[in-house]
């Protein structure tokens, strides 16, 4: 997460502190919408502690969300999708992704339409020759992550309660 965090730093930031709330995520989504982002290919990236907090959003009646279905023998649940309160045709939604490498006091909203892999060197198959009873080979490629509009196409909330 270090590379994407560094690229998005200094862009659309929500530095309110306190606990993560539907309003903070709504503000981030509104900022993206104001900058022309009309995609539903959004990803909310956070550590497990923030994920537990947003799973409690289901108890707030004005926000809709998708919860993992459970059977009668299971208690609890978790949030898999957040829908903004913006009155946009088709809704304005973000999927939830838990990454244990994400800082525990931050939540990042990524527009996945603006993130892609770029290969710097094509895939190569390098033979090492005969080694005892088998042939050893190496498959090598070189790639990088391309983040477009890092300052205006993505948003981050920092300084949240841990």
Query: Tens of pLDDT along 66-95?
Result: 555 566 666 667 788 898 888 887 778 999
Longest dimension (CA), the chain: 67
Measured in degrees and rounded to the nearest 5, phi and psi for residue 145 equal -95, 125
pTM of the complete model: 0.79
Give the integer Cα–Cα distance in Å for 148 and 44.
Answer: 17
The answer to whether residue 8 scores a pLDDT higher than 70 is yes
Residue 15 has pLDDT above 80, yes or no: no
Every domain of the chain and the residues it spans: 2-114+149-157
**pLDDT of residue 45 exceeding 90:** yes
- Tell me how far apart the alpha carbons of residues 106 and 46 are, in angstroms, rounded to a whole number: 7
* CATH code given to domain 2-114+149-157: 3.30.2320
pLDDT value, residue 116? 92
pLDDT at res. 67? 56
The partner residues of 30 in beta bridges, in order of sequence, read none
Q: Exposed, middle or buried, 45 (CB in 10 Å: 0-12/13-18/19+)? A: buried
What pLDDT was estimated at residue 106? 93
- The pLDDT value recorded for residue 69 is 58
Which tens digits make up the pLDDT trace of 128-157? Answer: 877 777 778 888 989 988 989 888 899 999
Q: Are strands 12-14 and 155-157 parallel, antiparallel or unpaired?
A: parallel
């Amino acid at each position: 997460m270090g590379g994407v965090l560094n690229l998005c730093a200094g862009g659309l930031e929500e530095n309110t502190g306190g606990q993560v709330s539907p309003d903070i995520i709504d503000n981030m989504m509104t900022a993206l919408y104001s900058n022309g982002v009309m995609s539903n290919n959004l990803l909310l990236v956070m550590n497990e502690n923030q994920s537990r907090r947003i799973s409690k959003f289901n108890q707030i009646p004005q926000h809709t969300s998708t919860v993992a279905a459970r059977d009668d023998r299971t208690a609890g649940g978790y949030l898999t999708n957040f829908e903004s309160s913006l009155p946009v045709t088709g809704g304005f939604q973000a999927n939830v992704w838990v990454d244990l490498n994400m800082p525990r006091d931050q939540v990042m909203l990524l527009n996945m339409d603006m993130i892609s892999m770029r290969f710097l060197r094509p895939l190569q198959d390098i033979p090492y020759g005969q080694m005892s009873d088998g042939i050893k080979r190496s498959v090598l490629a070189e790639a990088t992550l391309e983040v477009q509009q890092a300052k205006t196409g993505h948003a981050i909330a920092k300084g949240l309660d841990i």
